[in-house]
Structure 1
Amino acid sequence: MTTMSSDADPTTAAQGPTNNGHPPVDPAPRPRATAEEVAAAFEDTKLAQVLYHDWEAETYDEKWSISYDERCIDYAKGRFEAIAGDEPLPYGRALELGCGTGFFLLNLMQAGVAETGSVTDLSPGMVKVALRNAEHLGLTVDGRVADAEGIPYDDATFDLVVGHAVLHHIPDVEKALTEVLRVLKPGGRFLFAGEPTTVGNLYARKLGQATWYATTNITKLPMLRTWRRPQQELDESSRAAALEAVVDLHTFDPAELERIAASAGADDVRVRTEEFAAALLGWPIRTFEAAVPEEKLTVTWRLFAYHAWKKLSWLDETVLRHIVPRGYFYNAMITGVKPSR
């Protein structure tokens, strides 16, 4: 691990040993994996992570209806407030682990949660898109291609570490959380959202598989062929889905996730779950959207999907949270702090 003086440039200093005075260059994205690479990835989970997420990087925001406007700013800040509570804001410097396209951190920064940021991901393609998104938004963000089990920043660098739908991709979650605590300043907070619960993942996958099967078969009918994506795109989605089964390594029982974080050394660990009714509708909608041509997804459709999700989320929070065990909700969020001592 490279050490860094307090006045060093963090982007350069985090890059490790140099070659003839030049920092190493991050590997280039691989937007299309060959059949041979996919076959090899089934025996190498980290290769699978890179191939799958490089594959998805340029279309990921579209696939998951990710934006950097009021809708997703409110969503990101809402997740933060739901589990962190009423925190003094802003944090100074924040890190997003497994950043993807930067969805969580960039929207939190726009919401005033953090002033500056850093993004890391095992996928070069995702880091590239996250930095491009940050530039378009005028946000101060640097980035590195990095393994969550060995974060390339010095001890006590960050005030806040966040992530969205990342812990379930990491082989050794406790080791990654130990690294998170290392790079946090004493008293600094981590917060991860969008992690699948064990029960929630079971019904979400079944709903997604049934929706994909129904949509791709019904759109073979002559009167519905304009609703069918080209077969090459469907085949590529199927290959990506095959890799998805390799990159999704964990589901979480809320109590066990709390135990893992406490074992890593965190204080004030809390896990909260959300989305039960919202997930029962959300997963079929997301799968349907991935199976039909983009031009069929009109503004009317997207407004319907968004407002339906909001209404069912309200039902989850105001009614079902008091009836349904927390392990049955789809999404888990976890937060904790680095001990001050």
Structure 2
Amino acid sequence: MKQEPTEASPRDAVGISAESGREDVKVHPDDPAPNPHATEAEVEAALKDTKLAQVLYHDWEAETYDDKWSISYDERCIDYARGRFDLAVGPAPLPYERALELGCGTGFFLLNLMQGGVAKTGSVTDLSPGMVKVALRNAEHLGLDVDGRVADAETIPYDDDTFDLVCGHAVLHHIPDVELALKECLRVLKPGGRFVFAGEPTTVGNFYARKLGQLTWKVTTEVTKLPFLSGWRRPQTELDESSRAAALEAVVDLHTFDPSDLEKMAKSAGAVDVKATTEEFAAALWGWPVRTFEAAVPDEKLTIGYRMAQYRAWLGLSWLDENVLRKVVPREFFYNAMITGVKPGAVQK
């Protein structure tokens, strides 16, 4: 969960206008086209097929995902991505020559890591054709050397010993067989190569975050029914759509993780030098209600001043988490988990 408002639209950050947002980018000829308008029958089928649900849900969200989560490709998110990498890995010789992002979404993690000096070139994969298209478009506008494929994380379409780094953000909890995906990561890594995954929900953290989100949604949508607060209420059709999206989101969110279990899974997959780290306790207790409130009210009510105030609050609480609460609160109580490991063999950058 990230509370990181930006002063400008993420589209502006990469020079993509609303009118040009669907322009063509170079995609692999064997990859399917995005399907952002699923039929009712497809949605019904997706409720029983998690991988179909992943595709439909993320194709539907691809063109608006950066705006929804306040994702940008400027200093703010570069610092955030690099900070997650440094927290998970510690000091490391940089840059890596070639990196792969698994479950790339719009490219948030890899593209910002590349801008932050972590990798020179990259590849992106996602089960959603829409997300791959947007990630490649973002990379093109940033002038980054990136290729991409529509791909299942359990069968990565690259040769053995191809990458120096495999990374991902908020992706493992969407994958049915996480250990198999980690084995695939190790297969495509060069000997001594490293994987880094961040933004994964812990079991305890997910419990309180969901409860806080549900309570905030209920209170906000009920209170804004009052006549004198009607201007703070989204149209009912938008609220209904958000509720349907939340129902499908429950289908695509498959796992939560205990940090110790995540370490065992990575070691079982064959990794060495495995370490799980967690972050965001006070920041998550604050951030989830704030994000849910923002989703329930009209965008025009959320001024730049408000957004920056929330961002500063998130930064302050994150500092509290890192410098105080980490010393006294068990790691499994923090919301976000990160896992890193190395493929056995010669040391690579």
What is the TM-score normalised by the length of structure 1? 0.92
Partner of 1:334: 339
Residue 250 in structure 1 maps to residue 261 in structure 2: no
The C-alpha deviation readout for 1:195-231, integer Å capped at 9, x for no partner, is 0000000000001111111112222222222222222
State which of 136, 150, 153 in structure 1 corresponds to 2:155. Answer: 150
Residue 29 in structure 1 maps to residue 3 in structure 2: no
Residue 320 in structure 1 maps to residue 320 in structure 2: no
**Residues in 2 aligned to 1:66 and 1:170: alpha-carbon distance in whole angstroms:** 22
**Residues in 1 aligned to 2:302 and 2:33: alpha-carbon distance in whole angstroms:** 32
Match for 2:41: what amino acid?
Answer: E
State which of 116, 127, 130 in structure 2 corresponds to 1:122. Answer: 127
State which of 173, 176, 185 in structure 2 corresponds to 1:171. Answer: 176
**Residues in 1 aligned to 2:220 and 2:150: alpha-carbon distance in whole angstroms:** 36
- Counterpart secondary structure, 1:92: strand
State which of 209, 233, 243 in structure 2 corresponds to 1:228. Answer: 233
State which of 54, 65, 75 in structure 2 corresponds to 1:60. Answer: 65
What is the TM-score normalised by the length of structure 2? 0.89
Q: Which is worse superposed, 162-171 or 205-214?
A: 205-214
**Residues in 1 aligned to 2:296 and 2:36: alpha-carbon distance in whole angstroms:** 20
Q: CA deviation at 1:54?
A: 1.0
Q: CA deviation at 1:34?
A: 2.9
State which of 63, 82, 86 in structure 2 corresponds to 1:81. Answer: 86
Partner of 1:17: none
| Residue segments in structure 1 that go unaligned for 5+ positions in a row | 1-22
The C-alpha deviation readout for 1:265-317, integer Å capped at 9, x for no partner, is 00100000000000000111111111112222211111011110010011111
Match for 2:340: what amino acid?
Answer: T
Partner of 1:40: 45
Partner of 1:108: 113
The C-alpha deviation readout for 1:16-70, integer Å capped at 9, x for no partner, is xxxxxxx743212122333322221111000011111111111111111111111
State which of 198, 209, 215 in structure 1 corresponds to 2:203. Answer: 198
Match for 1:194: what amino acid?
Answer: G
Overall identity of the aligned pairs, in %: 79
Match for 2:216: what amino acid?
Answer: T
**Residues in 2 aligned to 1:209 and 1:38: alpha-carbon distance in whole angstroms:** 23
**Residues in 2 aligned to 1:225 and 1:144: alpha-carbon distance in whole angstroms:** 45
Match for 2:87: what amino acid?
Answer: A
- Counterpart secondary structure, 2:199: strand
Large movers: runs of 4+ above 3 Å = none
Q: Report the aligned-residue RMSD.
A: 1.1
Partner of 2:7: none
**Residues in 2 aligned to 1:294 and 1:106: alpha-carbon distance in whole angstroms:** 27
Q: CA deviation at 1:135?
A: 1.1
- Counterpart secondary structure, 1:107: helix
State which of 262, 270, 290 in structure 2 corresponds to 1:265. Answer: 270
1:235/1:33 CA distance change after superposition, 3 Å: farther
**Residues in 2 aligned to 1:136 and 1:292: alpha-carbon distance in whole angstroms:** 31
**Residues in 2 aligned to 1:340 and 1:320: alpha-carbon distance in whole angstroms:** 37
